[in-house]
Structure 1
Amino acid sequence: MTTIPGLIAPTSLVRLPSPDGFRVIGLDLSLTSTGVALPDGTTYRIKTRDRDGDRRLLHIRDSIRDDLADHRPHLAVVEDLPKHAMAAGITAKVHGIVLGELLDAGVPYAYVVPATLKSYACDNGRADKRDMAAAAYLAAGAEFAHDSGGDQCDAWWLRAAGHDWCGVPLFDMPQAQRDRLSKAKWPERFVQRDVMGAAA
């Protein structure tokens, strides 16, 4: 599997610093196009080909493994599988192999369902991809090239959600939207929004 230029290269135009050195990676997992937001704020997409079958899982795994080794995040925030989704079984394969990498690397992970992420970003659990992209631009001037599916944008918001929940927000948000994150599944060590010990 080869990397496709422009699809897997970082494309976010804004690199926000990680406050207090806290590093979060956002992962919008998919067998065909996984969105990744790295701890430095850049985003990229892991694009795979149908004809490679289940070997696509290895390509995704290897890319995530490299990211974990290079960036050593304190927390990963993963978009959870939607309930009753037709493609949930296929996406679950990706979740399994990526969660194995997170466990091997000792990186705790949180799950955020799509409706909660949309409510956090846009104050609307039914927001579409354009709404999410517009909210990212308004929040931090972020734009996402080659992201018609919204994978990078969702990963970017997942990273932002992790920072917000842990008390080191990247930008201002209405408190009502921040409160939506209480519906997500956070690792026990992060439930009190205290990362002082975790980021050491």
Structure 2
Amino acid sequence: MKVVGLDLSLTSTGVAVVWAAPRAGHLAQVDRIRTSPAGDTYPARWSRLRDIVDEAMAWVSDDTDLVVLEGLAYASKSPHATERAGLWWMLAHRLLVNDHRLAVVTPSARAKYATGSGAAGKDTVLAAVVRRYVDVDVTGNDEADALVLAAMGARALGRPIDELPKNHLDAMAKVAWPEGLAQPCPAGITTESKD
């Protein structure tokens, strides 16, 4: 099983990949795709978005079972909100036309899965991720968010990489899972832990 989590950003897109095999445990890797403005013209801005999409797609291979993408933050007041939305749709389009299964997680569902609270801030999520996934070298918010997305995808595929209290797992029901994942939180994998 291979799941890719992507937390899109114009400057630092978080990427996480989780591999799991029956009885062999799991392996996770995180990274960032860093870019900076290439100019204010529309062709330059489009080129930057295309480059981010190309780099993100380099992490998605034919054997990828699921890509989990953080949804748009509709309440964002950023002056770059339209570019972020364009980036999101460019990547979603590329994934779908290449027949990759795509799940979309809202920012609040991502925070709830990580911390138990949908209102948790980025630094609270980062702290929870660093404590929970001790074998993964997470160095920033973008990587932490991407790892949470990938962990949610692994759980949806029946290969959880974490043990979480029920209130964290309630986030799974708030995800737009692709067809074929009718039971996003399979029975028997919910475990209670103190977190």
Instruction: Calculate the TM-score normalised by the size of structure 1.
Output: 0.78
Q: Aligned partner of 1:134: which letter?
A: A
* Aligned residues of 1:79 and 1:113 also touching (Cα < 8 A): yes
Deviation string 1:61-99 (CA, Å, 9 cap, x unpaired) is 211222223x63111111000123224322111112111
- The alignment yields a C-alpha RMSD, in angstroms, of 1.9
Superposition map of 1:75-90 within 5 A: 75-87=66-78, 88-90=81-83
Show the counterpart of 1:144. 138
Which region of structure 1 is more displaced relative to structure 2, 136-145 or 101-110?
A: 136-145
Show the counterpart of 2:5. 26
Distance change >3 Å, CA 182–CA 193, structure 1 → 2: closer
Q: Aligned partner of 2:86: which letter?
A: K
Q: Give the Cα separation in 1 of the matches to 2:123 and 2:144.
A: 10
Structure 1 unmatched runs, 5+? 1-21, 196-200
Structure 2 unmatched runs, 5+? 20-27, 40-44, 187-195
> 33, 37, 40: which one pairs with 1:50?
37
Q: Aligned partner of 2:82: which letter?
A: G
Show the counterpart of 1:19. none
Tell me the CA shift for residue 151 of structure 1.
0.9
Instruction: Calculate the TM-score normalised by the size of structure 2.
Output: 0.79
Show the counterpart of 2:175. 184
Q: Give the Cα separation in 2 of the matches to 1:159 and 1:85.
A: 23
Deviation string 1:81-137 (CA, Å, 9 cap, x unpaired) is 012322432211111211122113211111111111111110112212221122112
| Partner-residue secondary structure (3-state), 1:190 | coil
* Aligned residues of 1:68 and 1:105 also touching (Cα < 8 A): no
Tell me the CA shift for residue 194 of structure 1.
8.5
| Partner-residue secondary structure (3-state), 1:78 | strand
Show the counterpart of 2:57. 65
* Aligned residues of 1:39 and 1:73 also touching (Cα < 8 A): no
**% of aligned pairs identical?**
31
Q: Give the Cα separation in 2 of the matches to 1:126 and 1:193.
A: 22
Superposition map of 1:1-200 within 5 A: 22-40=1-19, 41-52=28-39, 53-69=45-61, 72-87=63-78, 88-141=81-134, 142-145=136-139, 147=140, 150-193=141-184
Tell me the CA shift for residue 157 of structure 1.
0.5
Distance change >3 Å, CA 165–CA 175, structure 1 → 2: farther
| Partner-residue secondary structure (3-state), 2:59 | helix
Moved over 2 A (4+): 51-54
The structure with the largest helix share of the pair is 1
* Aligned residues of 2:18 and 2:151 also touching (Cα < 8 A): no
The structure with the largest strand share of the pair is 2
Q: Give the Cα separation in 1 of the matches to 2:55 and 2:17.
A: 12
| Partner-residue secondary structure (3-state), 1:107 | coil
Distance change >3 Å, CA 194–CA 132, structure 1 → 2: closer
| Partner-residue secondary structure (3-state), 1:51 | coil
